[in-house]
Amino acid sequence: MLKTGPGLFLLLLFGCMLSANAQNADSLKVDTNQLNKYRIEPGKNALPLRFVPLQIHREQIPVTMLDYKISYWHKTVLFGLNFSQSAFSNNYSAGGISSIALGSNFDFKVEYNKRPLDFTSELNLIYGISKNKGQGSRKTNDRIFFDNKLASQISKHWSFFGALTFESQFDKGYNYTTDSVGRNVSQLISNIMSPGYLTESIGFEYKPTKYFDLRLGTGTARQTFVLDTTIYHYQPTNYGVPIGKTILNELAFQAVATLDKDLSKTTHLNVRYALFIPYQQALAYTSHRVDLLLTSKVSRLIAFTLNGTMLYDKNTSSQVQGTEGIALGVIYHFP
């Protein structure tokens, strides 16, 4: 008890001091009139507010039509030129023949698409020539192809079409042989419009995509022309035209399939297959023709081209005929 007495006394003294301070704080008088003097009443000195109801009215604003025109025509132009040359001196130990070759390709295509009508016209011109020392000039490629088609859509992928196609060549064609003495002998076997083909066809067209179409010409007529009667003949008939005549008329079934597609940004493939079955001849006289053109751009104006043709036509040969060419040259495509 003696030990705890001084601590208890100090505790009681501290509590009395806190109580006295609290009484002094509560007894402090505040002049509330002075506070009210500086009090700001709400609403006084505030900016006036005006509330205007929002109203929306429809106004007619004159708008001029933009100068835009819809064109249903689409045109493309492709022009290619290939050149090659080689030269050898007379005493060159490895041997060789000096030569020069030039090849050209022109393709113009125009399309009109406005449903249900679809019109396509394509002109393809190919010509190549080479000259070897001691042999003179010889053509390496020669073709005129002009195709026109008008179709009317009857369903999503099918159309009724009519087509007119013309095919021939620019220059004379020779067959080169060697006689018993070893001399080169040339025999004239073709010329412009000898042969020449004019084909009229009506039927149905199947076009599931933009790059593929198939024509089924159930009603097809073809005229074969051999206007140069002096050409050399290997067969009893020259290109199917009887000797002494210049025109042969045929009725047939024709199927034409075309694939025209970009394989990549720089590579384009065009393949055309034509089947011709004459009604007045045996099935052995059915003709097949495949034309292929592969173009791959190396730069904006330089391109690699591969073209080839496979043909089976008993009126011209009993065996399959073919031609192929590879070239690197200048090419221009618009647009």
**pLDDT greater than 70 at residue 56:** yes
Asked which of 60-69, 86-95, 97-106, 112-121 is least confident by mean pLDDT, the reply is: 60-69
Asked if the model's pLDDT at residue 46 lies above 70, the reply is: no
H helix or E strand, kind and range, residue 255: strand 247-262
Residue 34: pLDDT band with limits 50, 70, 90: low
> Per-residue pLDDT tens for 122-174?
999 999 999 888 777 889 899 999 999 999 999 999 999 999 999 999 999 98
Q: What is the pLDDT of residue 317?
A: 86
Q: In this predicted model, what pLDDT tens digit does every residue of 237-261 receive, in sequence order?
A: 788 898 888 999 999 999 999 999 9
Contact criterion met (CB below 8 Å) for 193 and 224: no
User: What pLDDT does residue 203 have?
Assistant: 97
- Give the model's pLDDT for residue 259: 96
261-266-267-272 Cα dihedral, nearest 10 degrees? 40
Minimum mean pLDDT among 21-25, 97-101, 268-272: which range? 21-25
- Residue 134 DSSP symbol: T
Task: Retrieve residue 275's tokens.
Answer: 């089947």
Contact call for residues 279 and 252 (beta carbons, < 8 A): yes
Go through the domains of the chain in sequence order and give each one's CATH number: 73-88+96-334 (2.40.160)
- Spell out a b/e string for 276-286, using b for 16 or more CB atoms within 10 Å of the CB, else e: bebeeeeeebb
- Tell me which of 52-61, 144-153, 283-292 is least confident: 52-61
At 26 the pLDDT is 47
Would you say residue 186 has pLDDT above 60? yes
Predicted local confidence at residue 97, as pLDDT? 79
Q: What is the mean pLDDT of residues 315-329?
A: 89
- Give the pLDDT confidence of 196-227 residue by residue, as tens digits: 999 999 999 999 999 999 999 999 999 999 99
Q: Please provide the average confidence, as pLDDT, over all residues in the chain.
A: 84
The proportion of the chain whose per-residue pLDDT surpasses 70, expressed as a percent, equals: 81
- One DSSP character per residue, 182-196 reads S-EEEEEEEBTTBTE
Q: Confidence class of residue 60 from pLDDT cuts 50, 70 and 90?
A: confident
Report the 10 Å Cβ neighbour count for 136.
9
Tokens of 37: 């003097």
Regarding predicted confidence, which is higher, 42 or 104?
A: 104
